[in-house]
Amino acid sequence: MSRKRPGRVRTKRDNRREPLLLSTIQPQNINVREGEIMTIVCPDCETWRRLMGETQLKIREHCPRGCTGRAADCEEHPRCPGSNQPVRLDISIEQWGEAMLAADSTATGRRSARQHYKPIPAPAKPVAKMSPLPETVSEALVAYRDHLRRCRSSASGGRCVGRYRCVGGARLAAVYEELQRTKAQRHREARVEALLTRCRAARMWKEHTVATSSKVPLAKRSGTAVEEANNSVRARFTGSVSEFRALEVPLDPLKIRV
């Protein structure tokens, strides 16, 4: 019975390949930190394996990818070609750490920011389906009674029951109370607005009558009676004849002599 192989290199045998240089290995594929077990990604099976040795580092003998045991204990699989691959530390641990930090910062910059998906708000009610608020006391009362009739007959949990009112019923009730309270004030405002409208119309008609009945000096004046008559605005009655008449049209038949 053969004893188990210890966890250190006791032979100078390797896989007869050129040693891997630490400067040529990607920093994320090897770990040579002090105080930790040195590991490396095998270039053949691409799995993490342990680095054995102190001065001469070699990849520990192992089976191909997919085998969890060691090559010394496994008889079903052949040894991985990357076993006993020598690794040379051609740069210091500090230089490797700087390269590791640079690679980590580059990967962090390439990583997309985390997206937070917010719930989509419910679509707003179409304008065509929105019920406008009543403008008069009678309209508010009719809308309130119609809402009570439809809400009490529905099977929803938040319907109007007894003295309790739902959101829609409370809104219509508040509108009715507000219109009832401001009914007299709105009536006075409507009367004042109608009176002001009549006063403005009377003033406009008065100004128009004064402008048409009196001669107003105009900017365009040539001094002739024709121009003065054309520029002035005078009322004309039905059947009246203008004082300026052109040549009369001949009424006698035209006789052509040959």
DSSP 137-148: HHHHHHHHHHHH
202 pLDDT more than 80: yes
What does the pLDDT look like over 76-116, one tens digit per residue?
Answer: 668 888 888 899 888 888 888 888 888 776 655 555 566 76
Domain ranges of the chain: 20-107, 133-153+164-209
Task: Compute the distance between CA of residue 217 and CA of residue 211 in angstroms, rounded to an integer.
Answer: 11
Residue type, 98: E
Please check whether residue 79 is in contact with residue 61, taking contact to mean a CB–CB distance below 8 angstroms: yes
Task: Note the helical H segments in 57-134.
Answer: 93-110
Report the largest interatomic distance among the alpha carbons of the chain, rounded to a whole angstrom.
Answer: 159
Of 76, 32, 70, give the one whose Cα is nearest residue 54.
Answer: 32
Three-state DSSP class for 57? strand
For the chain, the average pLDDT equals 76
Q: Which residues of 205-237 are buried (b: 16+ CB within 10 A; e: fewer)?
A: eeeeeeeeeeeeeeeeeeeeeeeeeeeeeeeee
What does the pLDDT look like over 19-57, one tens digit per residue?
Answer: 889 888 888 888 888 888 889 999 888 889 998 887 788
Please check whether residue 116 is in contact with residue 46, taking contact to mean a CB–CB distance below 8 angstroms: no
- Beta-bridge partner residues of 31: 39
Task: Compute the distance between CA of residue 120 and CA of residue 19 in angstroms, rounded to an integer.
Answer: 58
183: Cβ–Cβ under 8 A, 6 or more apart, which residues?
A: 137
User: For the chain, first and last CA: distance in Å?
Assistant: 159
- From residue 111, how far is each of 8, 30, 43, 103, 115 by CA, in Å? 39, 22, 26, 12, 12
What does the pLDDT look like over 203-236, one tens digit per residue?
Answer: 888 887 777 665 555 445 555 666 666 666 666 6
Q: Give the predicted TM-score (pTM) of the model.
A: 0.37
| The predicted structure's pLDDT at residue 61 | 87
According to DSSP, the β-strands at 20-21 and 86-88 are parallel
Q: Which residues of 64-74 are buried (b: 16+ CB within 10 A; e: fewer)?
A: beebeeebeee
| The predicted structure's pLDDT at residue 219 | 47
| The predicted structure's pLDDT at residue 1 | 44
